[in-house]
């Protein structure tokens, strides 16, 4: 009997041939029945999708149908995998269906749809175009082709935005390195947000600068402090109209114990106040960390690789380590110096953006501050 024939051997008798034909017919019938049963399971809804896949798989495993018929089954299984979100499996099934029947338009459509779901836009477009070669007026393929074009346009636009953001960040980093500035971990971001310096067309840095009023624990903000400006140019325009306590009327919230103001704060005249920075503290960020901080709030915020070699990374150990026997200290800003001059102080690690503490010379608090009895909030 044919059932006992060795694998690969040819039937020799009419009886064996008849037996093989009967077995083939049975397997073919079973495969067709499994295919139809799978189709019925698909119509019954999501709860039966796994049953449909099982039926299609068993039908394929019968190995009794023609290539064109098996192509239909693979395409059907691809359809169910698409419905289940198994996009990689759907793509593999659709590709197998195309191999078995290069004119299977549904297989091309499902391969394109799976590729789009996997964000394989070039492959998706290729499958659409090949499908349209066989069916030029296919509405589903034409609609999908437009979706792919739209997605591709969006991706190209997003990539352009990311590239631009990274380019600006790298230009900033180069400018900062050229000036020998040290950038540390950002502080008081609840007050400053994701503000960052800007490099103009003349290669001049413009910094957002945070002013903290130590005595009354309030803040003010200079949006654009050009590195070539002297401090006096900014402090001169801020004159005292009322005592400190009556100047701060509108409070948004507290941050590190400091009130954030929504109106500009009137401060003492330059001749009656002084600006200070806290020197000898801070940890210098690496190049990668600086770039990441510059990219916060931009289209490039998710970028993790910048092509920076490990040996090019800046030392992340504490900078501005004071001499033996000394600790962090207050350094008074000379109002006749430019912002650039102040920031290039070897012991100044910029906490994201420059932060200065302003104190009235006429205040009783000034003596306490100058004596080192007051420290910045953490």
- Domains of the chain by range and CATH? 12-137 (1.25.40.10), 180-283+318-370 (no CATH)
Would you place residue 321 in the very low, low, confident or very high pLDDT band (cuts 50, 70, 90)?
very low
As a whole number, mean pLDDT of residues 33-44 equals 97
What local confidence, expressed as pLDDT, does residue 318 receive?
Answer: 46
Mean per-residue pLDDT, 18-39: 84
Statement: residue 31 has pLDDT above 60: yes
Distance (Å, rounded) from C-alpha 282 to C-alpha 68?
70
pLDDT over 70 for what percent of the chain?
78
Against a cut of 0.85, is the pTM above it? no
The C-alpha atoms of residue 250 and residue 262 are separated, in whole angstroms, by 6
> Do 267 and 303 touch, CB atoms closer than 8 A?
no
* 48 — pLDDT class (breaks 50, 70, 90): very high
Contact yes or no for 251/216 (Cβ under 8 A): no
pLDDT in the model for residue 320? 42
Q: Which residue has the higher pLDDT, 142 or 191?
A: 142
Distance set, CA 221 to CA 69, 342, 357 (Å)? 73, 18, 12
Predicted local distance difference test score (pLDDT) of residue 324: 39
Strand partners, 275: 358
Q: What is the mean pLDDT of the chain?
A: 83
Whether residue 2 is predicted with pLDDT greater than 60 in this model: the reply is: no
Q: What element of type H or E holds 210?
A: strand 205-213
Top pLDDT among 193 and 323 is at 193
- Average pLDDT value for residue range 35-48: 96
pLDDT of residue 344: 93
pLDDT band at 15 (very low <50, low <70, confident <90, very high): low
The Cα–Cα gap between 160 and 158 comes to: 5
Query: String of b and e for 4-21 (b: at least 16 CB within 10 Å)?
Result: eeeeeeeeeeeebeebbe
Is pLDDT of 304 > 90? no
Distance CA 222, CA 209 (A): 5
Return d(Cα 60, Cα 73) in angstroms, integer. Answer: 7
Q: What is the pLDDT of residues 214-267, one digit of tens each?
A: 788 788 888 999 999 998 887 765 544 333 433 333 333 333 444 444 334 444
Q: Residue 38 — φ and ψ, nearest 5°?
A: -60, -40
Is the pLDDT at 191 greater than 70, yes or no? yes
Kindly list the distances between the CA atom of residue 112 and the CA atoms of 65, 82, 93, in Å, as whole numbers in the listed order. 26, 11, 12
Least confident of 15-29, 54-68, 310-324: 310-324
Q: Which pLDDT score, from 0 to 100, does residue 238 have?
A: 53
* Nearest Cα to Cα of residue 162 among 334, 33, 304, 63: 304
Running DSSP on this structure, what letter comes out for residue 310?
G
pLDDT-derived band at 325 (thresholds 50, 70, 90) equals very low
Per-residue confidence band for 6, with pLDDT thresholds at 50, 70 and 90 = low
Give the C-alpha separation, 88 to 82, whole Å.
9
Q: What are phi and psi of 250, to 5 degrees?
A: -110, 115
Statement: residue 213 has pLDDT above 90: no
């Amino acid at each position: 009997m044919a059932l006992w024939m060795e694998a690969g051997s040819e039937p020799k008798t009419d009886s064996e041939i008849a037996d093989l034909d009967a077995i083939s017919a049975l397997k073919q019938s079973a495969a067709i029945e499994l295919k139809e049963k799978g189709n019925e399971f698909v119509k019954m809804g999501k709860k039966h999708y796994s049953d449909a896949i099982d039926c299609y798989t068993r039908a394929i495993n019968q190995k009794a149908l023609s290539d064109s018929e098996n192509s239909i089954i693979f395409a059907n299984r691809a359809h169910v995998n698409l419905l289940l979100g198994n996009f990689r499996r759907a793509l593999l099934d659709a590709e197998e269906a195309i191999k078995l029947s290069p004119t299977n338009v549904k297989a091309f459509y499902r391969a394109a749809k799976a590729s789009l779901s996997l964000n394989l836009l070039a492959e998706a477009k290729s499958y659409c175009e090949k499908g349209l070669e066989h069916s030029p007026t296919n509405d589903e393929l034409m609609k999908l082709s437009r979706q792919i074009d739209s997605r591709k346009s969006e991706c190209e636009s997003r990539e352009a935005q990311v590239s631009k953001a990274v380019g600006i960040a790298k230009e900033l980093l180069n400018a900062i390195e050229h000036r020998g500035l040290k950038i540390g971990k950002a502080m008081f971001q609840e007050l400053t947000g994701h503000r960052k310096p800007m490099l103009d067309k003349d290669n001049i840095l413009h910094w957002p600068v945070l002013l903290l009023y130590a005595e009354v624990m309030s803040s003010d903000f200079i949006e654009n402090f050009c590195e070539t400006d002297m401090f006096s140019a900014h402090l001169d325009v801020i004159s005292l109209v009322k005592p400190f306590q009556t100047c701060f009327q509108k409070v948004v919230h507290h941050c590190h114990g400091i009130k954030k103001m929504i109106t500009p704060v009137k401060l003492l005249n330059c001749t009656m106040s002084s600006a200070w920075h806290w020197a000898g503290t801070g940890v210098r960020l690496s190049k990668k960390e600086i770039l990441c901080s510059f990219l916060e709030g931009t289209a490039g915020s998710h970028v993790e690789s910048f092509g920076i070699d490990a040996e090019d990374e800046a030392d992340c150990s504490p900078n501005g380590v004071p001499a033996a026997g000394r600790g962090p200290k207050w350094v008074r800003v000379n109002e006749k110096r430019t912002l650039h001059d102040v920031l290039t102080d070897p012991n100044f690690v910029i906490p994201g953006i420059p932060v200065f503490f302003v104190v009235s010379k006429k205040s009783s608090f000034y003596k306490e501050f100058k004596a080192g009895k007051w420290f910045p909030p953490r």
